[in-house]
Amino acid sequence: MTARRVASYWMVFSVVLALLIAAPLVLPEFWRQFLTEILIWGLLAMSSDLLVGYAGMVSFGHSAFFGLGIYGAAAALLSITPPNLWLALLFGLMAAAGVAAFVAYFATRLRDIYFAITTLIFSQIFYVIIFTWTEVTGGENGLTFRRPPLAVPGLFSVPFTSETLHWFVLAVVTLSYLLLRRITQSPFGMVLQSIRENEARTRAIGYPIERYKIVAVMLSGLFAGLAGVLYAIQNRFAAPDFVFFLVSGEVIIFNVMGGIGTLVGPIVGAAFFLLLREGFSRFFTEYYLIPVGLIFIAMVIFLPQGLLGFMRRSLNR
Amino acid sequence: MGVEQLLQAIPLDQLLIQTINGIVAGMILALVASGLTLIFGIMDVVNFAHGELFMLGAYVGVIILAATGNFWLALLAASLAIALLGAAIHVTVLRPLLGRDPLMTILATFGISLVLQNYALWQFGPVARKIQEPFTGHFTLFYLEYPWYRLVIALLSAAIIGALWLFLKFGTYGIWIRATMQDRVMAQAMGIPVPWVLTVVFAIGAGMAAASGVLFGPLVGVNHAMGLDWVLKAFIVVVVGGMGNLGGSIAASIFISLLESYASLWVSPAQAVIFSFVVLILTLLFRPTGLFVPTPK
Amino acid sequence: MESLIKVEDIHTYYGKSHILHGVSLEVGRGEVVGLLGRNGVGKSTTLKTIMGLVRPSRGRTLLEGRIVTDVPAHRLARLGIGYVPEDRRIFRLLTVMENLRIGLDRRAVTEARKKELLEKAYTYFPVLAERRSQAGGTLSGGEQQMLAIARAMMLDPKIILLDEPTEGLMPRMVSQIRQIIDVLRREGVAILLVEQNVPLTLEASRRIYIMEKGAVRHHAPASELRVNDAVIHQYLGV
C-alpha cells in the first residue's frame, strides 16, 4: 500500500473519529443515545463480518453471543455490589466465550447451510433456556439492573453521563475495530480469507481448517459479547428477545447493507438500517419493517456488495 | 426416578393421546416440510419465508371461510392463492439471484419473511383469529374421546403428500423436477426449462405450506407469528430427514413430533422443543446427510 | 458446406482463469468434425460454450447463421443441439425410460414421432430396451454411455456434441460407439467429436481441429492427417 494511501486512510479515520467524539456535545439527548446505539450494533455487526466477510461463514448465532454478553453483564451487576464495570465486562465476555466455544465445537465441522442452520438452532436453544428458566434469568420479563459507574478501583469512581458513556462506547468500539483490522490483516486473517475463497485448496495445502474456523467463531463471539455488555450498560435491562434468532438476521442485514468484508461497512449498515427504522416509524409505526425489508431485498438484488462495497479493496489494505 | 416409575406415572390413555397427537402434528409438519425439502433439494435454498407462507395461507383461509362459510373451499383457495404468491416471489426476487452466491438467496428469503410477517401484522392486527373446524365431534378410542377433525387432518395431509409423490413419480413435470434435482446442468442440456421448474417447485412448496396453515388453523389461533415455530421445526425435519429426501422428511416429521408429544408429558411444550434440537445436533454430528437416508453418501 | 454451428473468437473464463483464448471453428450440416488436443486445453469448455452451459466473455456462437451466444441451454437443446458430456452424467435415479422420455417431451413432437424415436433408440441400443425400467445408476459404464447418446438422440438433434465417448470403455464398446457415429452421420446428424482416441477420430471425421492452450492451432481434413501424422505428434505427443 502506497504511503499516500496509508496517510489518506488514517486521515479519513481521524476525521470520522473526531466527528464521533464531538457529536454528543452538539446533539440532543435522543440522538446522542441513538448514536451510541448505532455504535453498539455496529460492533455486533463487525463481529459478524469477521465470520461472514472474511471466513465466508454465515452465522445466525450472533444473537446468542450478544444475548449471553448482556446476561453475563447482568449477572455481574446484580450479584455483586457495588456494581462493577470491569466485572460486568469480564462476566459478559466469559459467558459469550463459553457459548462461542460450545457453538464452535459443534458447528464448525459443518459446511455452509448446515453451519447456518446449526447456529440458528443454537440461538433458539439458548432462547428457550433463558425464556423458561425464570428463576435465574427472569424469563419473559428479563432482568433490570443499575448502570455501573466508570471506576478504576482505588483511583476514582464517577457515574456515567450520556456523554461519557458515549465516549466510553466509542473508545471500546474503536479499539475493537483496530484490533479486528489487525486480525484480518494478519497471517491468521489471510488464512481465513483463503478458506473463504477455496476451502478445499486451503485444506490441501495443509492448514488445519477446523482449528482456524473455531478460533474465528470464538473471536467473533467475543466481540459480539462485548457489544452485549455495552448494550447492557447502556440500557440497563436484559431480555430473551435479544437471543432470538431474528436478531442475528438483522445483524446480517446490517452486514449486507453496509458491505461484507469491510469491517467498517457493517457499522454504516447498522446506521443505515436504524435511521431507516427511525424514519419509517414516524409514518408506519411498528410496521417499519415492511418498507425497510423491501429496501433490503432490493439491495440484495441490485447492490449486493453493500453501501461500502466499492471501497472493499481500499478498506482492507 | 427410574424409567419404569416414570412410565408408570403416566396413565396409558395419556400416552395414547400423545401418540395420536404426535402423529397428527407430524403429518402437518410433514406437509410443511415436504415443500421445504423439495425447495432445498432443487435450489439449495433455505427458504426462510416458508413459515410466513404457512401463516398467510391460514389468513387467506380465515378470509375465504368468513366469506363463503365453506372450509374446503377455503383450503383450496388458500393453497392456490399462496402458490401463486410463491411463484410471483420466485420470479421477481429469487430468479434474478440464480447464478449468484446462495447466501444472497437465503438472505433474500429472510427479507421476504420479515416483510410478509409485518404485512400480516399490519393488515390483520395482533389479535389471533380463529378458523372454525369443518366438523366437530369425537369418536371413541377405547374409553377416550378423540376429535374427528384431528384424524381427518392427518389423513388429508397424507393424501396431499401422496398426490405429490405420484406427481413426482409419473407426471411429465414430475420427471423434470426429479431430473433437475439430480443434475441441474444436464437437465438444461436436455431441454428442461430449469428456471420455470424452479418456480413451479417453489409454488408447490408454498401451496403445501398454505394448506398446512389452513388445516392447522382450527387447532391454534391464526396470528402473524405462527410461522416462526414451524419454520424452525421444518428446518430440523429437513436436516434430520435428509435434504431433498421426501420420504426422509416425512419420517423425520413424525419422529420429531412424537418425541415432542411424549416430552410434553413431563416438561412444558416450550421446553419440549429442546429435544428436537438435541436430535438435530446429534444428527449433524453423526449422520449429517440425514438420519433416515438409507446409505450415507 | 452449409454451416450448422459456427464459433467465432470465443473467450471463456472460469472465475479468473482464462480458459479459451479466441476459439474459432465450424461444423457443417451432416458433417463429422473431430476436436483433438491434450488434457486441459479447453476442448470440453468449447463444447459447453456451444451448448450454452457456459457464457463466453467475448465472441459469438452461431446456429444456422443465427447468433445464439446468449440463448439459454434448454432452448438450444430444443433448437437441435444435443450434448453428451464427459462422464456421461445420465440421471442415475431415473429409469432408462425416464431418461429417454425427457428428450421426447417437447410440444412440437407428435405421439407418433415420439414412438418412432424411442423405437429407434431401442433398435440401436438393444441393451437399453432390456433395461428400460432399471435406474440409470445401475447400468454399467458402457451402457450408461449408450444411454447418454440415446437420450441426446431423442431431441431429434441437428448436431450432437460428443465429449470423449470412448473414455474408459472396453474395445468392444469402442467399436460400437464407432458404429453409432456412422449411423448418426448416415441419418444426417452432424457430430462434433472430442476424443483422446486419435485413430478413431481420424477414421470417423471429415475434418479435424487441434487445440492447444485454449485456442485452435491446426485445422486440416482428416484424410491429410491420416497420412501425415507429424502434426498429431507435435500437438498431442502421441
Residues in C closer than 8 angstroms to B192, CB to CB, are 74, 102
Could you tell me the CA-to-CA distances from A135 to A17, A138, A301, B141, B271 in Å, in that order? 43, 6, 46, 40, 15
Among B100, B111, B277, beta carbon nearest to A125: B277
SS3 labels along chain C: CCEEEEEEEEEEEECCEEEEEEEEEEEECCCEEEEECCCCCCHHHHHHHHCCCCCCCEEEEEECCEECCCCCHHHHHHHCEEEECCCCCCCCCCEHHHHHHHHHCCCCCCHHHHHHHHHHHHHHCHHHHHCCCCEHHHCCHHHHHHHHHHHHHCCCCCEEEEECCCCCCCHHHHHHHHHHHHHHHHCCCEEEEECCCHHHHHHHCCEEEEEECCEEEEEEEHHHHHHCCHHHHHHHCC
Of the candidates C190, C208, C191, C189, the one whose C-alpha atom is nearest the C-alpha of residue C199 is C208
B114: amino acid identity, one letter: L
- Check residue B21 and give its pLDDT: 85
Residue B223, φ and ψ in degrees, nearest 5: -145, 170
Stretch A150-178: mean pLDDT:
83
Architecture of domain C3-236: 3-Layer(aba) Sandwich (3.40)
Measured between CB atoms, does B180 come within 8 Å of chain C? Answer: no
Rounded distance between C-alpha atoms, residue A52 and residue A60, angstroms: 10
Which chain A residue has the Cα nearest residue B109? A297
CA pseudo-torsion sign C204, C208, C212, C213: negative
- Check residue C46 and give its pLDDT: 93
For cell 469480564, what's the residue?
A90
Q: Across the strands, what pairs with C83?
A: C161
Q: Is the pLDDT of residue A137 over 90?
A: no
Measured between CB atoms, does B215 come within 8 Å of chain A? Answer: no
Among B178, B188, B194, beta carbon nearest to C94: B178
Residues in B closer than 8 angstroms to A112, CB to CB, are 102
- Check residue A195 and give its pLDDT: 86
- Check residue A66 and give its pLDDT: 93
Measured between CB atoms, does A114 come within 8 Å of chain B? Answer: yes
| Exposure letters C27-66 (e unless 16+ CB within 10 A, then b) | bbebbbbbbbbeeebbbbbbbbbbbbbbebeebebbbeee
User: How confident is residue B268, by pLDDT bands cut at 50, 70 and 90?
Assistant: confident
The number of residues making up chain A comes to 317
Residues in A closer than 8 angstroms to B115, CB to CB, are 289-290, 293-294, 297
| Exposure letters A6-45 (e unless 16+ CB within 10 A, then b) | eeeeeeeeeeeeeebeebbeebeeeebbbbbbbbbbbbbb
User: How confident is residue A166, by pLDDT bands cut at 50, 70 and 90?
Assistant: confident
Q: How far is C234 from chain B (nearest CA, A)?
A: 34
Question: In this structure, how many other beta carbons lie within 10 angstroms of the beta carbon of residue B265?
Answer: 15
Rounded distance between C-alpha atoms, residue C121 and residue C115, angstroms: 10
Which chain B residue has the Cα nearest residue A131? B270
User: How confident is residue C206, by pLDDT bands cut at 50, 70 and 90?
Assistant: very high
Give the SS3 label for residue B129: strand
Stretch B31-39: mean pLDDT:
89
Q: How far is C120 from chain B (nearest CA, A)?
A: 18
Of the candidates C85, C83, C73, C48, the one whose C-alpha atom is nearest the C-alpha of residue C191 is C83
Helix H or strand E segment including B276: helix B269-286
Rounded distance between C-alpha atoms, residue C200 and residue B96, angstroms: 44
Instruction: Tell me whether residue B148 is exposed, middle or buried, using C-beta atoms within 10 angstroms of its C-beta: 0 to 12, 13 to 18, 19 or more.
Output: middle
Q: Is the pLDDT of residue B107 over 50?
A: yes
Rounded distance between C-alpha atoms, residue B117 and residue C65, angstroms: 52
Q: Across the strands, what pairs with C191?
A: C32, C160
Q: What percent of chain A has pLDDT over 70?
A: 99
Per residue in C123-165, pLDDT (tens digit) is 888 888 888 899 988 998 889 999 999 999 999 999 999 999 9
* Contact (CB<8Å) B270/A132: yes
B4-8, B153-157, C40-44, range with the lowest pLDDT: B4-8
* Interacting residues of C235 by C-beta distance below 8 A, sequence separation 6+: C36, C37, C38, C210, C212, C217, C218
Residue A253, φ and ψ in degrees, nearest 5: -60, -45
Provide the whole-model pTM: 0.87
* Contact (CB<8Å) C74/B176: no
Stretch A182-186: mean pLDDT:
89
Q: Is the pLDDT of residue B297 over 60?
A: no
DSSP A288: T
Q: Across the strands, what pairs with C209?
A: C35, C219
A270-279, B51-60, B207-216, B261-270, range with the lowest pLDDT: B261-270
* Contact (CB<8Å) C51/B192: no
Residues in B closer than 8 angstroms to C105, CB to CB, are 172, 175-176, 191
* Contact (CB<8Å) B191/C92: no
Residues in B closer than 8 angstroms to C83, CB to CB, are 189
- Check residue A251 and give its pLDDT: 92
* Contact (CB<8Å) A118/B270: no
User: How confident is residue B180, by pLDDT bands cut at 50, 70 and 90?
Assistant: very high
Report the CATH number of the B11-286 domain. Answer: 1.10.3470
Residues in C closer than 8 angstroms to B185, CB to CB, are 53, 73, 89
Stretch B97-124: mean pLDDT:
87
Judging by DSSP bridges, how do beta strands C58-63 and C3-14 pair with one another? antiparallel
Q: Is the pLDDT of residue B37 over 80?
A: yes
For cell 426422509, what's the residue?
B248
C-alpha cell at A96: 459469550
Among B176, B183, B189, beta carbon nearest to C73: B189
Subunits next to B (3 or more Cβ pairs <8 Å) are A, C
ipTM over 0.95: no
Rounded distance between C-alpha atoms, residue C42 and residue C20, angstroms: 6
User: How confident is residue B142, by pLDDT bands cut at 50, 70 and 90?
Assistant: low
Which residue, among B92, B94, B114, B283, would best test binding to A if mutated, counting the most A CBs under 10 Å from its CB? B114
Q: How far is B277 from chain C (nearest CA, A)?
A: 32
Judging by DSSP bridges, how do beta strands C66-67 and C81-84 pair with one another? unpaired
Q: Is the pLDDT of residue B8 over 70?
A: no
Which chain C residue has the Cα nearest residue B168? C94
- Check residue C84 and give its pLDDT: 95
Residues in C closer than 8 angstroms to B187, CB to CB, are 74, 102
DSSP A82: S
Subunits next to A (3 or more Cβ pairs <8 Å) are B
Per residue in A228-254, pLDDT (tens digit) is 999 998 888 888 888 888 888 889 889
Among C85, C98, C106, beta carbon nearest to B186: C85
Measured between CB atoms, does A55 come within 8 Å of chain B? Answer: no
Of the candidates B57, B101, B102, B99, the one whose C-alpha atom is nearest the C-alpha of residue B80 is B57
Q: Across the strands, what pairs with C84?
A: C162
Q: Is the pLDDT of residue B7 over 80?
A: no
Q: Is the pLDDT of residue C82 over 90?
A: yes
Stretch A285-301: mean pLDDT:
87
Q: Is the pLDDT of residue B85 over 90?
A: yes
Instruction: Give the C window 174-213 contacts with B, CB below 8 Å.
Output: none
User: How confident is residue B294, by pLDDT bands cut at 50, 70 and 90?
Assistant: low
- Which of residues B109 and B269 earns the better pLDDT score? B109
- Which of residues B105 and B12 earns the better pLDDT score? B105
Stretch B45-68: mean pLDDT:
90
Question: In this structure, how many other beta carbons lie within 10 angstroms of the beta carbon of residue C210?
Answer: 22
- Check residue A205 and give its pLDDT: 86
* Contact (CB<8Å) C93/B176: no
Q: How far is B118 from chain A (nearest CA, A)?
A: 6
Measured between CB atoms, does B181 come within 8 Å of chain A? Answer: no
Measured between CB atoms, does B104 come within 8 Å of chain A? Answer: yes
* Contact (CB<8Å) B97/A297: no
Q: Is the pLDDT of residue A1 over 70?
A: no
Cis peptide before A291 (omega within 30 of 0): no
Q: What percent of chain A has pLDDT over 90?
A: 23
Measured between CB atoms, does B175 come within 8 Å of chain C? Answer: yes
User: How confident is residue A270, by pLDDT bands cut at 50, 70 and 90?
Assistant: very high
- Which of residues B146 and A95 earns the better pLDDT score? A95
Instruction: Tell me whether residue A259 is exposed, middle or buried, using C-beta atoms within 10 angstroms of its C-beta: 0 to 12, 13 to 18, 19 or more.
Output: buried
Which chain A residue has the Cα nearest residue B98? A301
Q: How far is B193 from chain C (nearest CA, A)?
A: 6
Which chain A residue has the Cα nearest residue B274? A125
Q: What share of chain A is helix, strand, coil (3-state, %, to 5)?
A: 80, 5, 20
- Check residue B103 and give its pLDDT: 77
User: How confident is residue A143, by pLDDT bands cut at 50, 70 and 90?
Assistant: confident
Measured between CB atoms, does A129 come within 8 Å of chain B? Answer: yes
Q: Domain residue spans in chain B? A: 11-286
- Check residue B77 and give its pLDDT: 94
Question: In this structure, how many other beta carbons lie within 10 angstroms of the beta carbon of residue B122?
Answer: 15
- Which of residues C64 and B291 earns the better pLDDT score? C64
C-beta of residue A49 within 8 angstroms of C-beta of residue A257: no
Which residue, among B100, B169, B170, B188, would best test binding to C if mutated, counting the most C CBs under 10 Å from its CB? B188
Report the domain count for chain A: 1
Which residue, among C102, C114, C144, C163, would best test binding to B if mutated, counting the most B CBs under 10 Å from its CB? C102
B116-120, B191-195, B220-224, C66-70, range with the lowest pLDDT: B220-224
Q: What percent of chain C has pLDDT over 70?
A: 99
Rounded distance between C-alpha atoms, residue C137 and residue C128, angstroms: 13
* Contact (CB<8Å) A113/B112: no
C-beta of residue A226 within 8 angstroms of C-beta of residue A92: yes
In CATH, what number is assigned to the domain containing residue A35?
A: 1.10.3470
Of the candidates B229, B289, B261, the one whose C-alpha atom is nearest the C-alpha of residue A121 is B229
Q: How far is B258 from chain C (nearest CA, A)?
A: 31
Q: How far is B188 from chain C (nearest CA, A)?
A: 5
CA pseudo-torsion sign B235, B237, B243, B244: negative
* Contact (CB<8Å) B175/C155: no
- Check residue B141 and give its pLDDT: 65
Domain that holds residue A252: 3-315
* Interacting residues of A271 by C-beta distance below 8 A, sequence separation 6+: A38, A42
Measured between CB atoms, does A29 come within 8 Å of chain B? Answer: no
A5-19, A303-317, B42-56, C82-96, range with the lowest pLDDT: A303-317
* Contact (CB<8Å) A249/B232: no
